[in-house]
Structure 1
């Protein structure tokens, strides 16, 4: 059965402009995304036309400067937009988050000339980005990456393989981290690589348990030439740029997780009100009512956590610890809530005729991407107790 349109959430929006923005997002989600989500996910269809629509509506550059095509929106608003999109279809919500991640390096660390040349097209020109940090042998230990960039006159020549790249093979540009110097984090530099660069090829998309409409693939760099004018930041600054991007990206994943959980709760509440057993709706039974109450409480707590972290970021205060907490809590909560939604629907929850099983499969990946939840616990503990002694 088709997904239900996302139910209105009592949003915490600071201005009339942001409230109008959210109304636009909700309209797009209800008309253009949710009605086709189940069918297109099953078929593995990537909705590029939806991303073109989001770009035309100014929704792919929300947290960036309007001088370069952005929307001048605080993270507090941007993340709630992601939540709304993810509730309609995670492929779209997470895709918008990854695009924002891919733009972060140039927006935050690029030169004035670079931003003027590239950002307008990246933020509002219909382009779609990818973010290349992980490799086949370096996931959680990202600082051990092996892809190399060697200086050759005014160019850099990039050789190596990146793995688990969202939008791999279809993105118009990639922010790529490559080794240009010593081992470890200080030898990594960031580059802006065109998606059609000669020598850049994509492997076949991974066959995943969820998010089948979002292509995830390895990228092979076989002597890809990139002008030094496309180097982002200083040589050796790439790992710091990557970590800066991931702090914001983790909040994006947290918001997407809350969106998926909210969609699962909406489906469970609707079903519980319609399904009758023993002469009355199953929503009348206390055991099930308590499950729904716990699901709603976890969602509300997760939403409050990611918004609190977003407000720290908007105020220019440190938020890395809070971002890790939000990513950890929201994605774990999404896994619990979606699993409970399947249970509420019973046998129907286990079938593809209802969306609950898809939400559960999609929630799992959110505990893994942009730093596994075990890595989030390490990040939080380091803020509390300092780095481990060795």
Structure 2
């Protein structure tokens, strides 16, 4: 079991940060980091105690993801997605959950989803997946399709594949458990982004992949109550954990900046840059942004862990605000660090590149703001009464 106290998280963060720059340059996923997480019991953090895990909730998961992401961002991203998938599996009450949870704890097995597609884009924006799950004569399933941005390709043990059935009258959408070593899965090494370069978020092709009947977790008609309930779990955990990830990245950049400003003594100044009022003001602005982040993440995760719960709308807003604050904070850090901040021998520019990916990760700002605006405009308490002149 892993106890996410401040000391343990700091040690974990430093151990991952030691090789982060190398993985960023090489572009391959840091597999050794997964072994480190397994050794410490991090992969089973949210697994119930009865299944051998630590039984922690979203609040502790967010703290761990923030620390891991601050050390090495790609590892933090995959860990966040692993926790999201465990939450989804637990919510479906699937018989497969106990075994997958056990494997996460005992074997260090990692889960992730295959949802986005080249044509459909992010599943968060709606639309039916082009990936098809066809029932086979032996009672199993055959899955065919192309999935984009499969984070952790070559590291993930089991994929949760979003697909639709080929039923003539009513096509249903569901999640299928697919072992990553299944025959018919091919990795196209397409990932070449400016940030999260070590995430191995490649394109995966599924060509006649065969799985058993019990590989289907659940099938729903699009827009049904069951589909919305499953989506709600994904949105809450995804929103809060992505926020925690990018907040962790921003804090790592902030920490480097503070050391640099205290240590840097320009000859013309005769004192450290930390003594300059303008720079102090910028650092104060960074601190204000990160303070807002911490308050939002802590409040949201506590609500999610309580009986009151957390709405998907709230989680999406947290992700959007925290991510934008992270990007802004790192941009400010670059503005007062000069050439040193942009030098690839220092980590600040890498943290900035990684944080930019947060804007692309769903939910994106336009969908969050449109939903908030629509809800506000539709509030009956703020509409003009019919008899008002």
Relative to the length of structure 2, the TM-score reads 0.88
In structure 2, how many angstroms separate the alpha carbons of the residues matched to 1:318 and 1:42? 38
CA 1:230 to 1:69, structure 2 compared with 1: closer, same or farther past 3 Å? Answer: farther
Counterparts of 1:1-390 in structure 2 under 5 Å? 21-30=5-14, 32-111=15-94, 113-140=95-122, 141-153=125-137, 154-180=139-165, 187-236=172-221, 240-277=229-266, 278-316=269-307, 317-385=309-377
Deviates most, 159-168 or 369-378? 369-378
SS at match of 1:197: coil
Deviates most, 17-26 or 45-54? 17-26
In structure 2, how many angstroms separate the alpha carbons of the residues matched to 1:307 and 1:29? 19
Q: Is the 8 A contact 1:60 1:124 kept in 2?
A: no
In structure 2, how many angstroms separate the alpha carbons of the residues matched to 1:175 and 1:385? 37
CA 1:182 to 1:255, structure 2 compared with 1: closer, same or farther past 3 Å? Answer: farther
Structure 1 gaps of 5+ residues are 1-16
CA 1:243 to 1:283, structure 2 compared with 1: closer, same or farther past 3 Å? Answer: same
Aligned CA RMSD, in angstroms, stands at 2.3
Deviations 1:85-123 (A, max 9, x none): 111111121121011123233222043x32233321034
In structure 1, how many angstroms separate the alpha carbons of the residues matched to 2:5 and 2:350? 28
Deviations 1:67-98 (A, max 9, x none): 22332112112101111111111112112101
CA 1:230 to 1:122, structure 2 compared with 1: closer, same or farther past 3 Å? Answer: farther
In structure 1, how many angstroms separate the alpha carbons of the residues matched to 2:24 and 2:312? 33
The alignment of Structure 1 onto Structure 2 pairs a total of residues equal to 368
In structure 1, how many angstroms separate the alpha carbons of the residues matched to 2:167 and 2:251? 45
SS at match of 1:87: helix
Q: Give the drift of 1:220.
A: 0.8
